[in-house]
Amino acid sequence: MYRVLVVGDQNSVSYQRKLKEFTEIEKFFQDQAEFRLVLDPKEARKLLFYDQPQILIVRTQFLFQYGIETMLEQNPVLKIILSSNDSTLEHIVSFFNQGICHYIQEPGLAYDYISGIQKAINQLKKQEAQFELKQVKSAEFRNYLRQKELNELVCGSLSEEEGARVLSEHLNSHRLFGAYGIAVFELSENRQISAEELENARQAVFYHLQQSVLQNGILFFNKEKQIVLLLAKESLFSSTDRATARTVAVRRIQQLSLSYHCCIKAGAGSCVESIEQIKLSYQQARQALHLASGFSKTVLVDYTQYGKNVSGLSIPAQLMKLLKNQIQNPSGWADALSQLSAHLNSQPVLSSDHIQYAAFKILSSLDQDNDDLFKQAIGLRTADDLFAMLRELGQSPEDASNSDSLINRVAAYLSQNYPDPSLSLNKAAQSVYVSPSYLSRIFKQKLNLSFTDYLVKLRMEEAKKLCKQKELKTAQIAAKVGYRDASYFTLCFKKYFGMTPGCYRKTYALKTIGMDE
C-alpha cells in the first residue's frame, strides 16, 4: 500500500471543499493506497519526516514555505502532486524543473486527481522494479567476484595475505583455521536426464552439500562446473575420522545420484596446514577425481588412501626426486626411467592397479597439473604403457625444429587422407611414430587447435571449394571430404560457415553473376 498525504489550505475555502470529494478518490485506490488529510502545515511537515509518505498532494504556498529540495532530500522517493490556480506556462515549467510529478490546474476535477495519483503510483512501481533489478544484478556480481576469488585461492594465484582475507570473508568465522582440505564433485548426465535437468541437479546437490558443511567450509563452482568444497577445521580428520568421513560421503553421494538420476564422482585431497598449500590439496582432489571417473563402481577416491589400496608397491623417495630433477634433461631423464624400470621389474607382482598408481604418484610429484595426463594414466594397463607416457613427458614440445617438422609431416598426411571417414588421431599419430596424446599436445601448443578442430577446418575448406562445382550434389561433396552421412555434413558445414552448402552455393552464384555483369 502506498501512503498518500493530502495537505489542506486553511486560507482556501474552494480547496477545502474539493478535498471533501476525496472520499470517492479513496474508494478508487482502496487496494493501492491509504490517504491521510491534514489541514495544519506544521503537522504535515512532521508527518513528511516521520511517516515518510510516497505521494504528497499540496498547494503552491506549502512548497514555497518548506521548499521542494528539502522535502526530496528527506524523502528521495516522494512524488509531489501540485494543485494551483496559476496557469502561466513559466509557473508550471518551473515547478516541473524542481521535481514535481504532476500539476493540477484549479479547480481540478476528481479525474485530474485520480490521473495524478495513478501517474505517481506508476512511477513508484517503475522505481521499485529498477531497484529490484539492481539488487539482483548486484547479487549476481557479488557471486561472480566470490567465485573468482575462491578459484584464484585454490589455484594458488593469491598471496598468503590475500588468501587469508578471502577465507575470513567467506567462511562464517572471523578467525582462520589450522587445517584445510579440498574435495571436488562432478556430475555427469546419463540417458535418463537432459542437460537442463543436469544443471538443476547440480544446483540441488550444491545446496545439499552446503547444508552439510554449514560454517566449517566453503562451496563454489570452478570453471569446469565442478563443485569445489574447501573444508576448514581446527584439526582435520585423524586417520579414523577420515575413514568414517569417507564412508559417510560415499553413502551420501550414492543417495544423491539416485535422487537426481545422475552420476556423481568425487575426489578428496590431503589435509594441509597453510593457506599456501591449499593449491596442493586442490590439485590432489582433481587428480583423485580423474581416478574415480575411470572406474564405474567407484564414486569417491581419497588421494591419501589410493596408494594404500595398492599393496606391495612403493617408489623410493630418492628415485622420485631424481625423476623430478631430470625431466628437463633428456639424457638424465632416460637414465631416471631406466632406474624406475629396474625398480618396477623387481616387484613380485605388477598389476594394472600398480601401474596406474605409479603413474599417479609420478605425475603428482612432477607437479603435472594436466587433466589429459591424468585421464591417460587411468587407462594404463602395462609397464610399456607407463614408460611410453613418461618418455613423451620427457620430450620437449618447445623444441621448435622437432615440433615444426612433426606438424608439417602430419599436415601432409592429413592433406592426402582427409577423404577417409575413419581418419583419426590414432592413425595420424601412427603415421609419424608418436603417441596420440603427444601429438594432441603438439597441435594445441603449436597451432592453438585440437587435432579434431584442425581436421574439421581442413575438410570444411575443401568442401567450400567443391561447392563451387555445380555438378556435384551435397552427398557427393560429403563423401569426398570424409563424411559418410550427408545430413551430418550439412550440420557441420552450417556450424562452420553459418549457412548450409545449398545457401553457400546460391550466395556464390549471385556473386559470380555480379562479377560477370
Supply the pLDDT for residue 462: 92
Identical fold between 155-309 and 400-516: no
pLDDT of residue 349: 74
Q: What pLDDT is attached to residue 458? A: 92
- Report d(CA 2, CA 159) in Å as an integer: 51
Lowest-confidence pick of 77-86, 141-150, 291-300, 305-314: 305-314
CA–CA dist 152, 159 (Å, integer)? 10
pLDDT at 398: 45
From residue 106, alpha-carbon distances to 4, 13, 35, 60, 89 in Å are 20, 12, 20, 11, 14
Mind listing the pLDDT tens digit for each residue in 203-227?
888 888 887 776 678 888 888 888 8
Say whether pLDDT at 91 is over 70: no
The CATH number that domain 155-309 falls under is 3.30.70.270
pLDDT at 515: 45
Higher-confidence position of 19 and 25: 25
Pair type for strands 263-268 and 217-221: unpaired
Instruction: Give the integer Cα–Cα distance in Å for 179 and 272.
Output: 6
Query: What pLDDT is recorded for position 18?
Result: 60
pLDDT above 70 coverage of the chain, percent: 80
- Rounded to two decimals, the pTM is 0.47
Inform me whether the pLDDT recorded for 514 exceeds 70: no
Please compute the mean of the pLDDT values over residues 103-114 and round it to a whole number: 77
| pLDDT winner (highest mean) among 25-29, 339-343, 371-375 | 339-343
Contact 47, 71 (CB under 8 A): no
Q: Are 451 and 443 in contact (CB under 8 A)?
A: yes
Answer whether residue 400 shows pLDDT above 60.
Answer: no
| Strand bridging mode 263-268 / 179-188 | antiparallel
Question: DSSP H helical segments within 308-382, as ranges?
Answer: 317-326, 330-345, 352-365, 371-378
Residues contacting residue 510 through CB under 8 Å, at least 6 positions apart = none
Task: Provide the residue ranges of all domains of the chain, joining segments of one domain with +.
Answer: 2-128, 155-309, 317-394, 400-516
Helix (H, G, I), strand (E, B) or coil at 104: strand
CATH number of the 400-516 domain: 1.10.10.60
Mean pLDDT check: name the lowest of 175-179, 426-430, 482-486.
Answer: 175-179
Q: Is the pLDDT of residue 337 over 60?
A: yes
For position 277, what pLDDT does the model report?
85
3-state SS of 193-230 is CCHHHHHHHHHHHHHHHHHHHHHHEEEEECCCCCEEEE
Under DSSP, is residue 47 helix (H, G, I), strand (E, B) or coil? helix
User: What is the pLDDT, as a whole number, of residue 111?
Assistant: 78
Cα distance between residue 289 and residue 78, in whole Å: 57
Structure confidence at residue 476 as a pLDDT band (50, 70, 90): very high
Cα separation, 381 vs 151, in Å, equals: 34
C-alpha triplet 17, 20, 22: angle, nearest 5°: 130
Higher pLDDT, 19 or 59: 59
Average pLDDT over residues 331-335: 80
How far, rounded to the nearest angstrom, does the alpha carbon of residue 454 sit from its chain's CA centroid?
27
DSSP string, 106-143: SSPPHHHHHHHHHHHHHHHHHHHHHHHHHHHHHHHHHH
Average pLDDT of the chain is 78
Asked whether the predicted pLDDT for residue 517 surpasses 60, the reply is no
Give Dmax over CA atoms of the chain in angstroms: 112
What's the pLDDT score for residue 316? 84
Nearest to 450 by CA among 441, 461, 458, 463: 441
List pLDDT tens digits, range 164-202. 888 877 775 545 556 788 888 888 866 566 777 888 888
Q: Over the stretch 46-72, which tens digit does the pLDDT of each residue have? A: 888 778 888 888 877 777 777 777 777
Taking 60 as the threshold, does the pLDDT of residue 76 lie above it? Answer: yes
2-128: CATH architecture = 3-Layer(aba) Sandwich (3.40)
- Nearest to residue 12, comparing CAs of 55, 61, 75, 66? 61
pLDDT of 423 reads 87
What's the Rg (C-alpha) of the chain? 36
Q: What residue has cell string 493506497?
A: 33
Can you tell me the distance from the alpha carbon of 6 to that of 20, in angstroms, rounded to the nearest whole number?
Answer: 11
Strands 33-38 and 2-7: parallel
